[in-house]
Structure 1
Amino acid sequence: MNKNRLEAFTDGVYAIIITIMVLELKVPHSPTLGSYVEMWPVFISYAVSFLFVGLNWANHHHLFQTVSKINNRVLWINMFNLFVLSLVPFATAAMGENSFKSITVTIYASLLTLSIIVYMVLVNLLCRVHGKGSAFSNQFRGRSKSYISLCLNIIAIVISIIGFPKVAFLLIVLTSFAWFIPNHIFENRP
């Protein structure tokens, strides 16, 4: 099976997801500074979601640069990852429009957590497709940062459920920014 079609389709879906998110930014009816300041939850939600989707796309891009073969399972796990990500614009809009209410942050954090889990399944599946001792598998072993992000997002879910959604959202933001830190800091690689 050729990976190029999977990559092209995936890139298109990522672009559509980001486009849908930006379309949720509505222009204020009165062009005053106050009306723009009132929009801060919507804009912050959008900016963090753009960052998350962009990071997800970058990781997917780097992952598939080294992929030499795929199978039907990889195709469908990738499709499930896109399904989860396609829900991000909805969760983003709900969170921004409702000023980070507990249920909206919980749903948002849950989607991000599910996305990390699906991505980890995709990486593990690709490692199996390439073989245990392959260059691909050796390059993608461990993934400590993924496990740390998964734990932090689960903590964010709990924090939001118990009534501190803005603290949970801040944890999500910090977790996203951690992906700018090089992997070698998180993992013990020779």
Structure 2
Amino acid sequence: MRTGRVEAFSDGVLAILITIMVLELPKPAGADWRALGHDVPVLLGYLLSFVYLGIYWNNHHHMFQAVRRVSGGVLWANLHLLFWLSLVPFITGWMSEEWIAETAHREAVSPVPVAAYGVVLLLAAGAYFLLQRTLIHAEGPRSRLAAAVGRDVKGKASPVLYVLGIGLSYVAPWLGVLVYAVVAAMWLIPDRRVERQVAHREDELQTEEG
């Protein structure tokens, strides 16, 4: 089957998740800048999760541009990825609200919500890797996607960094958040591998037609 319906469904789910996060942002308890400053942890948590969802949407789109068909296994692998991504609004709200509550009471910030945020990111990364391998299996080892993925250094480094961030959360929660932000920044750097493979294939087709 073609990839169009999978892409459209996934786009819709990711758009809903971003909308949910926006709707869950609390209104400032006042009408001055100090009130807005109180919600800075929530806004930063929203920003980080927005970036992560944007990265997954971008990479998901590019990955499916490099394949021509999907199998039943791909459909389930895609749903598996969307399941973990659907937890992002929930885990973001928990981490941000606990950070505000404990800071307001001058208590040490609990590492558990920050570590749980990292666990969700880790499992989402694992689900994305599984989807990627399922697509390559469906297309074959000589497919454009297999050629584009290559050694996938960033894909292999990310889980290691997530585990590091989870561990550092128990040392100091802000260190865990810092590691998660570093991974996000690493994926924001444009990766043209898939685009080059798709463009190369289009050039080959035009040459054959010519």
- Whether these two folds match at TM > 0.5 is yes
1:174 aligns with 2:198: no
Using the TM superposition, give the Cα deviation of residue 183 of structure 1 relative to its aligned residue in structure 2, in angstroms: 4.1
Task: Tell me the equivalent position of 2:204.
Answer: none
Matches within 5 A, 1:43-54: 43-54=43-54
Q: Is the 8 A contact 2:63 2:145 kept in 1?
A: no
Task: Tell me the equivalent position of 1:80.
Answer: 80
Match of 1:159 among 168, 176, 188: 168
C-alpha RMSD over aligned residues: 1.5
Task: Tell me the equivalent position of 1:14.
Answer: 14
Letter in 2 for 1:121: L
C-alpha distance in structure 1 between counterparts of 2:66 and 2:186, whole Å:
23
Deviations 1:77-114 (A, max 9, x none): 10010010000000000011111631111110100011
Structure 1: which 5+ runs fail to align?
Answer: 185-190
Task: Tell me the equivalent position of 1:124.
Answer: 133
Letter in 2 for 1:127: I
TM-score, normalisation: structure 2: 0.84
Q: Provide the secondary structure at the position in 2 that maps to 1:163.
A: coil
Letter in 1 for 2:41: P
Task: Tell me the equivalent position of 1:68.
Answer: 68
Task: Tell me the equivalent position of 1:23.
Answer: 23
Corresponding residue pairs, total: 184
TM-score, normalisation: structure 1: 0.92
Using the TM superposition, give the Cα deviation of residue 8 of structure 1 relative to its aligned residue in structure 2, in angstroms: 0.5
Q: Is the 8 A contact 2:98 2:110 kept in 1?
A: yes
Q: Provide the secondary structure at the position in 1 that maps to 2:142.
A: coil
Match of 2:124 among 115, 135, 141: 115
C-alpha distance in structure 2 between counterparts of 1:71 and 1:52, whole Å:
26
Structure 2: which 5+ runs fail to align?
Answer: 100-108, 193-210
Q: Is the 8 A contact 1:145 1:183 kept in 2?
A: no
